[in-house]
Structure 1
Amino acid sequence: MENNNHIVLEKREDGIAVLTLNRPESLNSFSHNMISSWYHALQDFKSDDEMKVLVLTATGKAFSAGGDIKALSKGEGFIGEPEVDLWSDAVKRKSALWDNIQKIPLLLEEIDKPVIACINGDAIGAGLDMALMCDLRFCADTARLGEGYIHLGLVPGDGGSYFLPKIVGESKALELLWTGKRVSANDAKQIGMVDYVYPADEVFEKTVQFAKTLCSKPQNALRMIKRLVKNHDKISLRTHLDMVSSHMAVVTDTHEYVTLLEAMKSKSKK
């Protein structure tokens, strides 16, 4: 288990990595130190061939309240660095986003392994956006979810305005972003914001059960399927089919495919 203070990355023997937001006294709101540790934990998961699925969850009563405005506006979260004002002008404000929290969605885009959010409690603003960046979302029935940027006169700084409309559609995304209203877990499921809702004391176990199912699948095909789906709306049909044929050529040349094909042939002969 790797512990980076407010981020804990546990590598389980079953191939599931659990990344836990561990700043419950601040409702798991993000500091610079937390974001940096989060980024390095994702890099670790990406490069570890033994880890097949990542589950993102949190400790305490909340999943995440989003960015810690006070901590993020100062350099106080950087280990070993003096406190500096990172938001003193527009250029610094832009760089503070690009060099820190925006690195998370860009790295997640490179990860072909499944990443599942286990939303154990309220997910607000950037906290919700971090769950939206995942491939699937399991949610506690007690959780409330909302985009709260409008209440401070802000825009989503981490890509929420990119991910939310892809999941719930443009009109609903605009409604949620414009009003900043919070929705219940069940209402979030109705609009497609989350995929599964379970009692709070069961949601982590249910998430892990699903992760185990994914771990049991052929991993090469699983990851190529994710890449195909994630790119489906970014390229033309011709380019997509060209990509599919390339992936098919590769997966049918793997030991996984040959083994499964031989097993199927043997079974059909019985």
Structure 2
Amino acid sequence: MSNLPQLVDALITLENRVATLTLNRHDLRNALTGSHLIDDIVTTAEWVNGCDDVSVLVITGAGSAFSAGGNVRDMAERGGDFAGDAAECAERYRKGIQRIPLVMQAVEVPIIAAVNGPAIGAGFDLANMADVRIASEKAKFGETFLNLGIIPGDGGAWLMQRLIGYQRAFELTLSGRIVDAHEAKELGIVLDVVPADELMPTVMTLAGRMASQPPKATRMTKRLMKMAQRMELKDFLDLCACFQGMCHNEPEHLDAVNRMLESMARR
């Protein structure tokens, strides 16, 4: 078993190749600023990429909220990440919360967000950085930055329109309205909505299915799906050929083929 990273405001577990990161600042509704959660998320993402024992990363929140995003009290007091003049504040964004989308975009394994409660502002954007979102019926989602007179400074305007399209993302961002879990499913924000007590079992079933796949091919497949978003087809097919050549020469490929042949022989 690999050594787990040392975190301050979050909890990390690893079982059956599934790493679960739980944001653990219920007193702040798991706000990303005004806590150590930014560092904890970055540390976890970097650890996942370097740990061959991890095939899936699940992110959820402790308590009633997934994440409230930015710490509004710090905003009111112009303290913490929001202190200083325009240039100083911009630099804090670059060295602070903007590290999250960059490191999440680089995670090599599937990421599942188990959205247990409200995901607001940067908390909503964090959920959108995952590959799949499963929501509890208690979840709510809001791109509420304009309600506070600010813009989505953590990449939300880039993320959401790629997820649900420009028009829907524009409406949610410019209105700042909050949607419940069922509307979020209709909009394509979440894959499924389940009762609160079924959230983690449902997520872990999906995570377990993904984690059971050959680990090297799983990482390559996620990389391909990310790269497909920004490559021309011909160049992409060339890359697929190279990755496929690597897969055919991996022991896990032969193991998987033999298992399938054995299963066919038993039918």
Q: Secondary structure at the match of 1:4?
A: coil
Asked if the contact 1:32/1:100 (under 8 Å) is kept, the reply is no
Deviations 1:67-93 (A, max 9, x none): 114447534xxxxxxxxx853122111
Per-residue deviation, 1:138: 0.7
Paired amino acid for 1:16:
V
Aligned position for 1:44: 47
Q: Report the counterpart of residue 97 of structure 1 in structure 2.
A: 93
Q: Which residue number corresponds to residue 144 of structure 1? A: 140
**Cα pair distance change 1:259/1:146, threshold 3 Å:** same
* Further displaced range: 66-75 or 98-107: 66-75
Quick one: which of 20, 23, 29 aligns to 2:22?
Answer: 20
Report if the CA contact (8 A) 1:42-1:107 is conserved: yes
One-letter code aligned to 1:244: C
Number of aligned residue pairs? 260
CA contact (8 A) 2:112 2:134 kept: yes
> Any residues of structure 2 matched to 1:159-170 within 5 Å, and which?
159-170=155-166
> What SS does the aligned partner of 1:137 have?
strand
Distance of aligned partners of 1:153 and 1:238 in 2 relative to their CA distance in 1, 3 Å threshold:
same
Q: Distance in 2 between matches of 1:148 and 1:26?
A: 17
Matches within 5 A, 1:163-182: 163-182=159-178
Q: What letter is aligned with 1:74?
A: G
8 Å contact from structure 2 (residues 74, 82) kept in 1: no
1:224 pairs, out of 206, 217, 220, with: 220
**In structure 2, what residue type is equivalent to 1:119?**
V
Shift, 1:160, TM fit: 0.8
Q: Structure 2 unaligned runs (5+)?
A: none
User: Which ranges of structure 1 fall in alignment gaps of 5 or more residues?
Assistant: 76-84
State the AA in 2 paired with 1:40.
Answer: T
Instruction: Assess, with a 3 A threshold, how the Cα gap between structure 1 residues 152 and 269 changes in structure 2: closer, same or farther.
Output: closer
- Matches of residues 55-204 of structure 1 in structure 2 within 5 Å? 55-71=58-74, 73-75=78-80, 87-204=83-200
Say yes or no: does 1:254 pair with 2:250.
yes
- Deviations along 1:227-247, one digit per CA (max 9) or x if unpaired, are 111122211111111111111
> d(CA) in 2 for partners of 1:263 and 1:6?
42
> 1:7 touches 1:20 (CA, 8 Å); kept in 2?
yes
**d(CA) in 2 for partners of 1:202 and 1:241?**
40
Distance between the aligned counterparts of 1:121 and 1:34, measured in 2? 17
TM-score, with structure 2 as normaliser: 0.91
Deviates more, 1:27-36 or 1:163-172: 27-36
Contact 1:32 1:71 in 2 (8 A): no
SS at structure 1 position matched to 2:153: coil
Q: Which amino acid aligns with 1:46?
A: N
**In 2, Cα distance between equivalents of 1:19 and 1:262:** 34
Match of 2:236, SS state, is helix
Deviation at 1:37, TM superposition (A): 2.2
Cα shift at 1:219: 1.5
Cα deviation per residue 1:102-159 (whole Å; 9 max; x = unaligned)? 1111111221111110000011110010000001001001211110001011111111
**Distance in 2, Cα, partners of 1:160 & 1:138:** 19
